[in-house]
Amino acid sequence: MSSKYRKFNLVWDEWNLEHIKKHNVSKYEAEIAFKSKDLLIESYRGRVTLISKTKRGRLLTIVLSFEKQKDAYIVSARDSSKKEKEIYNDKTNKTI
C-alpha cells in the first residue's frame, strides 16, 4: 500500500454520521479502527477500503473517499463481511 494513505485525517459531517449510525457503528468506533489502519486496499474513484479492528475486537470495513479533498471522507462504516474477514486474516496474519 502506498504511504500516501498513511497520514490523513477524517472528515465528518451530518450525512456520514447518520449513515454509519444505520450500521450500528459509532464515530468513536470508526475513529479507533481508523487509527490502527490495519489493512488499506485501494479501490475505485479515489476511494480506499480500510479493514481494521476496534478496541473491543469488532472488525469494521470503512470506505474512505479522497475524491474532493486531501483528507478522508467516510462514505461508509460497517461490520466486515465473511469475505472481508478472510482477506483481513490472509493479509495481516491476524485472526479475528
In order along its 96 residues, the chain shows pLDDT tens digits of 444 555 778 999 999 999 999 999 999 999 999 888 889 888 887 789 999 999 999 999 999 998 777 888 999 999 999 999 999 999 888 766
Alpha-helical runs (H) found in 1-96:
14-22, 27-36, 82-92
Residue with cell 450500521: 23
The CATH number given to whatever domain includes residue 67 is 3.10.450.530
Query: Counting Cβ atoms within 10 Å, is residue 56 exposed (0-12), middle (13-18) or buried (19+)?
Result: exposed
Domain encompassing residue 15: 8-92
Instruction: Answer whether residue 17 is part of any domain.
Output: yes
Please give the model's pTM, rounded to 2 decimal places: 0.86
The total number of structural domains in the chain stands at 1
Instruction: Answer whether residue 44 is part of any domain.
Output: yes
Instruction: Answer whether residue 43 is part of any domain.
Output: yes
Instruction: Answer whether residue 37 is part of any domain.
Output: yes
